[in-house]
Amino acid sequence: MDEVPELVPAADDPYARPRIPLTLLTGYLGAGKSTLLEYILTADHGYRIAVCMNDFGDTTDIEAKSLTLCDPSTGEQSTSFLSLPNGCLCCSVKDLGIAAIEEMVVNQRDKVDWVMVELTGVADPGPIAKSFWENEEMGDLVLDGIVCVVDSKNFLKQLDDNRPGEINEAQRQLAASDVILLNKVDLVDAAQLDKVRSRVTAINPTLRIHDTVKGNMPLDRIFNLHAYSKGKFDTVHDHPSHVNSISTVLIPLPRLTPTQWSRLNLFLENVLWTGKLDGVDINVLRTKGLIHLDDGREMVLQGVMDIFEIKQSSEPDEAAPGKIVFIGRGVQDLKPALISFVDL
């Protein structure tokens, strides 16, 4: 019998090469995303970033060289990509979808270290992050994290835009994000800034928060977050939140037995996949967790909306307490329900 030949990964096999990190940039209208992007597109920061903008806007006067690429969804050529003097690339999201962004990465791999996608001011980043995360194993991109730019002067008003039965855009953006840039801090006093910090933390206490003026921010504070691959996050407490429609709940976890571990998985499936708890609708926007098992393993939980993933940690930390954090609407009832179901 002939020997079965050993399979060798093809050179163009996405599994055989490192994937390029992707950052989603969100923020309410007028928060200062464009100012941050202008810095990225013009400054000599050393990164080769492909920036996918909603519109070129004020960047049309930047010295650039057009690149002609093919949109795989239509087969048509596009000249919406600009090659900038600092090594970055720029394209318009209005003209190109996710498939074309992937195509750009394939065609320009030797010129791109990072991809940043700007979302509209009213976009909910949750479903967009979910689509990238669901398909990242099959593509050339890996979601690194979500960065939200906040207008420190007007953000409290945006948070308080009350819509009965709904979570408004500003709240959704905070809940889904991993880093918050409190922009325009030069336009508010210390008391106002403290109020903004308090409200931001109440909605999403897992956030990393940085103050900025005109979007001026070292890029190493918003890159290499590994937000969907690491389970370590700063100290978190329950936050019922001043915003009626959204809250955060922390559930401490002891070291789990095999039975408890199995029941925890079942609980997560029942709640996140159905969006219901005891027949009552809940809306979980983000889920994070660090879980210690009796056999010595440490598991990392990450979730966006109705999808979640649990992986074994490659760098277990015995000193880090086990816990699960849910962010969303109606999540306060998850704490007693999980404790009872898992038999903690």
Confidence of residue 8 (pLDDT cuts 50, 70, 90): very low
Q: Where in the chain is the domain with CATH 3.30.1220.10?
A: 247-342
> What pLDDT was estimated at residue 263?
97
Q: Where in the chain is the domain with CATH 3.40.50.300?
A: 14-221
Q: Dump pLDDT digits (tens) for 122-132.
A: 788 888 888 77
> What pLDDT was estimated at residue 81?
58
Euclidean distance between CA atoms 50 and 40, whole angstroms: 10
Strand partners, 253: 322
Q: End-to-end alpha-carbon separation of the chain, Å? A: 56
36 vs 108: which has the higher pLDDT: 36
268 vs 88: which has the higher pLDDT: 268
Dihedral (CA of 290, 295, 297, 302) sign: negative
313 vs 70: which has the higher pLDDT: 313
112 vs 77: which has the higher pLDDT: 112
Q: Dump pLDDT digits (tens) for 274-296.
A: 999 988 899 999 999 999 999 99
Q: Dump pLDDT digits (tens) for 190-246.
A: 999 999 999 999 889 999 999 999 888 889 999 999 888 765 555 555 555 444 578
Residues of the chain with pLDDT > 70, as a percent, come to 76
Task: Specify the CATH number of the domain 14-221.
Answer: 3.40.50.300
> What pLDDT was estimated at residue 34?
84
Q: Where are the beta strands (DSSP E) in the chain?
A: 20-27, 49-53, 65-70, 77-83, 89-92, 114-118, 141-151, 179-183, 208-211, 247-253, 276-277, 280-281, 283-292, 298-304, 307-312, 322-329
> What pLDDT was estimated at residue 17?
62
Burial class (CB in 10 A: 0-12, 13-18, 19+), 148: buried
Superfamily of domain covering 247-342: CobW-like, C-terminal domain (3.30.1220.10)
Q: Is the pLDDT of residue 14 over 50?
A: no
Confidence of residue 62 (pLDDT cuts 50, 70, 90): very low
CA-based nearest residue to 315, from 293, 294, 299: 299
Q: Is the pLDDT of residue 93 over 50?
A: yes
> What pLDDT was estimated at residue 234?
52
